[in-house]
């Protein structure tokens, strides 16, 4: 009661002193600050635990660190226990769950999402789970924005806007890249960049980045200064890089899906834990760069230190060989995807944002080393690694602008803009015919739950027409006398009457206009059958309950019909869809999902 009064007082004060736009800008700023704090907290905890665990080393007789076999299964076990006993058994599926909330749940995310992904991913990645922290922190930021909007009782479109602000702030905070944060919301969450959304997204991203700079200093992830200028002669090599990264992206998407599907076939989560823990432990033992996010190894590569890929592994003695470097790079590209999917499939929490960066960086470095080994004009391995990061990210996440500006902001300038645009465009164009949707959206798209930038088409695909089926039409039965129809007319306020056979299968309709004369002739009630007045129905007048809304609206448009009969797979009558109600529901849906 006291809380309700306090909220009412605050709400009244806000209405008197703040305009709606000012209020939303203040809330977007608050969401950005909180998302930035969450990003800093997550990164700091994980890096400190990683540093502690990696400082412990029990070497085997063949080399390598024995503890690498144990860490991953411990981390996934702790994650599963946390989910079971503290979250209630489910924390959602990161970015896909946020996309589903945007399209189907009016942008509402459970309050537990503000901390569950944060803690679960910390446990997984800190102990070596080969996944990224970006997706969990983005989903945490989204939940922060969603719940602030819900608590403030904002409209659906404003709740979704704050959800996007939280995601943008989280990405901006974790990389200190505000422009990339904005494009993350636009390309991954399908937000329209309009005058209404642009300023809140900017405020959220800038405030989150500022918090990250204030608490963590000016260093950024993969900090690198470009020293070698781009020349036109390098264009063919960046095109080759784009094609290679396209292959890596398709491999990433398909192998991830196959490995996760394979793990889902085991009904017991403990079986998945043991199996995944063993596989992941072996992979990390053999290839230590697969431990955790893997950003440390990639940062060392950017500085020209390739020996980090062999350090503390059983292959350390081969690090001086050029061929060994090429083989190691290819192995890490292939196995990083397997390790990521294994971590997620076995019960770990984390995302694929970071792994796509790692695979991209390794791909770019591989192409540069291969070109240099073949006697081609000397290429900068660091530049190719940075461009490769953007290219694979654009292919996996279908977010070319976000990927381009992320690398541009990381490098502190735009010297790489031309090669970035070339490689990213080539990768995106090559991937699109094979994979129409991003790694986050592909499953939602299959089930028709994906909201896209084409809001008109999305509205028809995402609407739930079952909610507007009208059931107040009184059916009559075939073979019955006219009297039954007259009794139905007395009780009905509609002008059509569905006709069913003895097994309740739909056979046609009777229009009131067709029987208007005979209903005033009582002598015909028991002598005539209502079958004489059944109006024959074509397939164009019928829709199945499982038909997509898009196919339903096509029937309305093509036949210029005012009503469609709804049946199930066995032709049982369910109800009627009216043209007026369907298009009214469409207008309401568009209003709630746009501005």
- Return d(Cα 1, Cα 7) in angstroms, integer: 10
pLDDT band at 208 (very low <50, low <70, confident <90, very high): very high
Query: Taking residues 260-282, what's their average pLDDT?
Result: 91
d(CA 114, CA 151): 14
- Specify the range with the lowest mean pLDDT, choosing from 103-107, 310-314, 491-495, 577-581: 103-107
Reported pTM: 0.80
Structure tokens at 83: 């989910």
* Number of other CB atoms surrounding residue 5 within 10 Å: 9
The fold adopted by the segment(s) 2-216 is: Clc chloride channel (1.10.3080)
pLDDT at 147: 92
Q: In the predicted model, is pLDDT for residue 242 greater than 60?
A: yes
Mention every residue, 6+ apart, whose C-beta is less than 8 A from residue 555.
540, 541, 543, 561, 564
**Higher per-residue pLDDT: 100 or 114:** 114
CB contact set of 353 (below 8 Å; sequence gap of 6+): 132, 134, 135, 138, 393, 397
More confident position, 202 or 9: 202
Average pLDDT over residues 142-154: 89
For tokens 């890596």, the residue is 248
Q: Among 284-293, 343-352, 373-382, 512-521, whose mean pLDDT is lowest?
A: 512-521
With pLDDT > 90 as the criterion, what percentage of the chain qualifies? 28
Report angle CA 182, 183, 189 to the nearest 5 degrees: 95
Confidence category of residue 456, pLDDT binned at 50, 70, 90: low
Q: What pLDDT does 49 receive?
A: 82
Q: Quick check: 162 and 148 in contact, CB under 8 A? A: yes
3-state secondary structure labels for all residues of 222-265: CCCCCCCCCCHHHHHHHHHHHHHHHHHHHHHHHHHHHHHHHHHC
pLDDT at 542 over 70: yes
- The position carrying tokens 């089926």 is 469
Task: Render pLDDT for 440-452 as a digit per residue (tens, 0 to 9).
Answer: 877 765 555 555 5
Tell whether the model's pLDDT for residue 222 goes beyond 70.
no
pLDDT class of 172 with cuts at 50, 70, 90: very high
Asked if 132 and 352 touch (Cβ cutoff 8 Å), the reply is: yes
Instruction: List pLDDT tens digits, range 407-436.
Output: 888 876 677 888 999 999 999 999 999 988
Q: Domain residues of the chain, as ranges?
A: 2-216, 232-453, 459-593
Instruction: Name the superfamily (CATH) of residues 232-453.
Output: Clc chloride channel (1.10.3080.10)
Closest CA to 445 of 432, 434, 453, 436: 436
pLDDT-based confidence at residue 594 (cuts at 50, 70, 90): low
Q: To which residue do tokens 């005033």 refer?
A: 520
Q: Residue 559: which pLDDT band, with cuts at 50, 70 and 90?
A: low
Which residues is 497 bridged to in the sheet? 510
- Nearest CA to 172 among 348, 358, 38? 38
Q: Which residues contact 255 (CB under 8 A, 6 or more apart)?
A: 337, 338, 341
* C-alpha radius of gyration, the chain, whole number: 30
Tell me the range of 49-53, 141-145, 470-474, 546-550 where mean pLDDT is highest. 141-145
Domains 2-216 and 232-453 share a fold: yes
Q: Which of 164-168, 281-285, 548-552 has the lowest mean pLDDT?
A: 548-552
Whether pLDDT at 595 is above 70: no
CA distance 245 to 236: 14
The CATH architecture that domain 459-593 belongs to is: Roll (3.10)
pLDDT(458) > 70? no
The CA distance from 140 to 398, in Å, is 21
Look over the chain and give the mean of its residue pLDDT values, rounded to a whole number. Answer: 84
Q: Which of 114-128, 254-268, 540-554 has the lowest mean pLDDT?
A: 540-554
**pLDDT attached to residue 1:** 53
């Amino acid at each position: 009661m006291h809380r309700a009064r306090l909220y009412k007082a605050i709400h009244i004060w806000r209405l008197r002193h703040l305009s709606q736009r000012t209020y939303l800008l203040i809330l977007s700023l608050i969401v950005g600050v909180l998302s930035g704090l969450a990003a800093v907290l997550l990164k700091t905890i994980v890096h400190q635990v990683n540093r502690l665990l990696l400082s412990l080393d029990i070497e085997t007789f063949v080399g390598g660190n024995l503890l690498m076999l144990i860490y991953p299964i411990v981390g996934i076990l702790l994650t599963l226990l946390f989910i079971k006993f503290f979250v209630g058994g489910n924390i959602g599926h990161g970015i896909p769950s946020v996309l589903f909330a945007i399209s189907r749940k009016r942008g509402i995310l459970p309050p537990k999402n503000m901390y569950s992904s944060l803690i679960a991913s910390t446990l997984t990645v800190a102990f070596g789970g080969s996944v990224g922290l970006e997706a969990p922190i983005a989903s945490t930021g989204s939940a922060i924005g969603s719940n602030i909007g819900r608590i403030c009782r904002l409209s659906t479109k404003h709740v979704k806007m704050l959800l996007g602000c939280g995601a943008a702030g989280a990405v901006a905070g974790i990389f200190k890249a505000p422009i990339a944060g904005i494009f993350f919301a636009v390309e991954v969450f399908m937000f329209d960049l309009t005058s209404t959304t642009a300023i809140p997204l900017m405020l959220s991203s800038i405030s989150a980045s500022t918090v990250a700079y204030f608490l963590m200093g000016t260093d950024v992830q993969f900090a690198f200064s470009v020293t070698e200028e781009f020349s036109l002669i390098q264009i063919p090599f960046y095109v080759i890089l784009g094609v290679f990264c396209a292959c890596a992206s398709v491999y990433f998407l398909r192998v991830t899906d196959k490995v996760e599907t394979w793990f889902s076939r085991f009904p017991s989560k403990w079986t998945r834990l043991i199996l995944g823990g063993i596989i992941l432990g072996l992979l990390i033992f053999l290839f230590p760069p697969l431990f955790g996010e893997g950003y440390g190894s990639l940062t060392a590569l950017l500085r020209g230190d390739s020996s980090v890929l062999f350090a503390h592994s059983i292959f350390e003695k081969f690090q001086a060989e050029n061929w060994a470097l090429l083989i190691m790079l290819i192995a890490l590209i292939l196995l990083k995807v397997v390790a990521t999917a294994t971590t997620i499939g076995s019960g770990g929490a984390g995302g694929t944002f970071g792994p796509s960066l790692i695979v991209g960086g390794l791909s770019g470095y591989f192409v540069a080393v291969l070109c240099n080994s073949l006697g081609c004009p000397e290429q900068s391995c660091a530049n190719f690694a940075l461009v490769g990061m953007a290219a694979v990210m654009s292919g996996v996440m279908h977010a070319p602008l976000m990927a381009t500006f992320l690398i541009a902001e990381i490098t502190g300038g735009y010297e790489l803009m031309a090669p970035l645009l070339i490689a990213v465009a080539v990768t995106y164009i090559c991937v699109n015919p094979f994979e129409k949707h991003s790694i986050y959206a592909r499953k939602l798209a299959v089930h028709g739950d994906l909201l896209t930038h084409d809001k008109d088409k999305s509205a028809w695909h995402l609407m739930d027409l079952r909610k507007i089926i009208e059931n107040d039409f009184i059916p009559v039965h075939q073979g019955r006398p006219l009297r039954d129809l007259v009794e139905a007319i007395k009780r009905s306020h509609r002008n059509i009457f569905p006709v069913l056979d003895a097994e309740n299968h739909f056979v046609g309709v009777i229009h009131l206009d067709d029987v208007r004369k005979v209903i005033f002739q009582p002598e015909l009630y028991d002598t005539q059958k209502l079958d004489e007045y059944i109006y024959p129905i074509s397939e164009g007048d019928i829709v199945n309950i499982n038909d997509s809304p898009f196919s339903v609206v096509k029937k309305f448009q093509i036949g210029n019909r005012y009503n469609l009969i709804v049946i199930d797979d066995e032709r049982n009558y369910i109800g009627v869809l009216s043209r007026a109600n369907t298009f009214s529901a469409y207008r309401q849906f568009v209003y709630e999902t746009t501005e």
